[in-house]
């Protein structure tokens, strides 16, 4: 009899314990659901505040630098043409912006640079025995600077009357030879916060160069588009195209440059970046052809300069850089 009573008591206690645990689990689930709802509401408020900060009128500044480094050395690598060659290359691209956005006007400023140096030593043993002036040295393989300042008076939230100055040149070698300065006025369209399109039908393209090269300044139309986008996996993309269409001679005096950059930030602004640029500039190609062949503009006029006849002397210019990045924004 006592054993039956003991078993009965144990069974009752087990059922009570199970019911109590189930009740406690349900309570925990209910508390979790309530806290999750509270957290979602708070996160929504946080996102709204972040959006207000991002669109708040005032100065916004930032900078991004991409650094690429490549070192190589071959010792008795007989399958190559230079079995004892070594090569070193270093490149950097950088961009910075300072933009002011007010209710009635905006002022956007940007700076972009790209530079690379390469040193190729065909044979370290032979090279060391050569005179200093004949030994391998660092050569500039990329060199560009672009500075833009755009001011606009808003007619509507998306359309503004605008004026812009843009300067393009090199800064490591042949600074301002040539240098391009565009000064113009027209309209700016901002259909989205991350897209700016500039259309200036009244623009003067001033080309500065030494007297022994042949460049022509001219009046024309300036078109610029700048687009930024956040992609999945924390990747940021920026694309900028700047073009000038000459009214004087569209075929010979027009030019365009298109630069794209992808940046993945992994930790505290440090990440990996890739940048590539394309350019077409017939005047640059023409003067490079004259210099390389010791010719003058009197010998070969630019109208007679044809890239098919000169075996691609007016090529599509390009560069790319892959390396570590550091991103600063405010």
The predicted-structure confidence for 7-17, as pLDDT tens digits, reads as follows 555 665 565 56
Asked if the model's pLDDT at residue 54 lies above 80, the reply is no
Q: What is the pTM of this model?
A: 0.71
77 or 254, which is more confident: 254
Identify whether residues 257 and 153 lie together within a single domain. Answer: yes
What is the SS3 assignment for 273? strand
> What is the per-residue pLDDT for 135?
52
The structure tokens 């300072």 sit at 98
What is the SS3 assignment for 313? coil
Identify whether residues 40 and 76 lie together within a single domain. Answer: no
What is the SS3 assignment for 2? helix
Q: What percent of the chain has pLDDT above 90? A: 27
Look at residues 19, 35, 53 and tell me which one is the last residue of a structural domain: 53
What is the SS3 assignment for 248? coil
pLDDT, average across residues 198-214: 87
Phi, psi of 268 (to 5 degrees): 50, 50
pLDDT, average across residues 112-124: 74
132 or 328, which is more confident: 328
> What is the per-residue pLDDT for 257?
92
Q: What is the pLDDT of residues 131-166, one digit of tens each?
A: 544 456 777 777 888 999 999 999 999 999 999 999
Identify whether residues 28 and 156 lie together within a single domain. Answer: no
State the DSSP string of 60-84: EEEEEEEEEEEEEE-SS-TTSSSTT
272 or 77, which is more confident: 272
Q: Write out the residue range of the structural domain in which residue 119 sits.
A: 62-329
Question: How much is the mean pLDDT over the chain?
Answer: 79
> What is the per-residue pLDDT for 134?
47
| DSSP bridge pairs for 70 | 89
Contacts of 222 (CB under 8 A, 6+ apart): 164, 166, 182, 184, 186, 198, 199, 200, 203, 205, 242, 243, 244
pLDDT, average across residues 305-314: 57
pLDDT, average across residues 189-205: 94
The end-to-end CA distance of the chain, in Å, is 82
Identify whether residues 100 and 15 lie together within a single domain. Answer: no
Identify whether residues 77 and 213 lie together within a single domain. Answer: yes
Please report which confidence band the pLDDT of residue 84 belongs to, taking 50, 70 and 90 as the band edges. low
What's the rounded Cα separation, in Å, for the pair 303 and 88? 40
Please report which confidence band the pLDDT of residue 202 belongs to, taking 50, 70 and 90 as the band edges. very high
> What is the per-residue pLDDT for 181?
94
Identify whether residues 174 and 75 lie together within a single domain. Answer: yes
Lowest average pLDDT, out of 131-145, 270-284, 288-302, goes to 131-145
Identify whether residues 25 and 77 lie together within a single domain. Answer: no
> What is the per-residue pLDDT for 130?
46
What's the rounded Cα separation, in Å, for the pair 152 and 55? 17
Identify whether residues 212 and 138 lie together within a single domain. Answer: yes
Angle at 316 between CA 231 and CA 91, to 5 degrees: 60
CATH number at residue 253: 2.40.230
> What is the per-residue pLDDT for 63?
81
> What is the per-residue pLDDT for 77?
55
Identify whether residues 37 and 98 lie together within a single domain. Answer: no
Beta strands in the chain (DSSP E): 58-73, 86-101, 105-121, 139-154, 159-169, 179-192, 195-208, 218-231, 235-246, 255-267, 270-281, 317-329
Identify whether residues 73 and 198 lie together within a single domain. Answer: yes
Identify whether residues 223 and 319 lie together within a single domain. Answer: yes
Asked if the model's pLDDT at residue 178 lies above 60, the reply is yes
Q: How many domains does the chain have?
A: 2
Identify whether residues 47 and 102 lie together within a single domain. Answer: no
The structure tokens 């062949």 sit at 293
């Amino acid at each position: 009899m006592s054993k039956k009573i003991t078993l009965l008591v144990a069974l009752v206690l087990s059922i009570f314990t199970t019911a109590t645990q189930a009740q406690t689990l349900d309570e925990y689930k209910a508390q979790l659901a309530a806290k999750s709802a509270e957290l979602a509401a708070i996160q929504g408020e946080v996102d709204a505040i972040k959006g207000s900060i991002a669109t708040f009128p005032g100065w916004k500044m930032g900078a991004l630098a991409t650094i690429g480094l490549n070192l190589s050395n071959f010792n008795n690598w007989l399958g190559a043409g230079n079995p004892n060659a070594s090569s070193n290359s270093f490149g950097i691209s950088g961009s910075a912006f300072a933009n002011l956005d007010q209710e009635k006007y905006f002022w956007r400023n940007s700076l972009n640079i790209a530079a690379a140096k390469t040193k190729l030593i065909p044979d370290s043993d032979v090279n060391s025995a050569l005179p200093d002036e004949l030994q391998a040295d660092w050569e500039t393989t990329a060199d560009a600077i672009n500075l833009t300042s755009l001011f606009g008076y808003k007619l509507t939230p998306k359309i503004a009357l605008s004026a812009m100055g843009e300067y393009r040149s090199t800064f490591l070698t042949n600074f301002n030879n040539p240098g391009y300065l565009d000064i113009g006025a027209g309209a700016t369209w901002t259909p989205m916060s991350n897209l700016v399109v500039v259309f200036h039908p009244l623009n003067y393209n001033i080309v500065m160069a030494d007297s022994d090269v042949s460049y022509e300044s001219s009046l024309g139309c300036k078109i610029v588009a700048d687009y930024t986008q956040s992609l999945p996996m924390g990747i940021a993309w920026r694309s900028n195209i700047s073009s000038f269409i000459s009214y004087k001679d569209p075929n010979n005096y027009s030019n365009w440059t298109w630069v794209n950059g992808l940046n993945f930030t992994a930790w505290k602004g440090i990440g990996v970046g890739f940048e590539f640029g394309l350019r077409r500039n017939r005047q640059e190609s023409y003067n490079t052809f004259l210099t390389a062949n010791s010719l003058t503009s009197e010998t070969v006029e630019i109208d007679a300069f044809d890239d098919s006849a000169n075996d691609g002397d007016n090529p599509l210019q390009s560069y790319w850089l892959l390396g570590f990045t550091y991103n600063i924004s405010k």
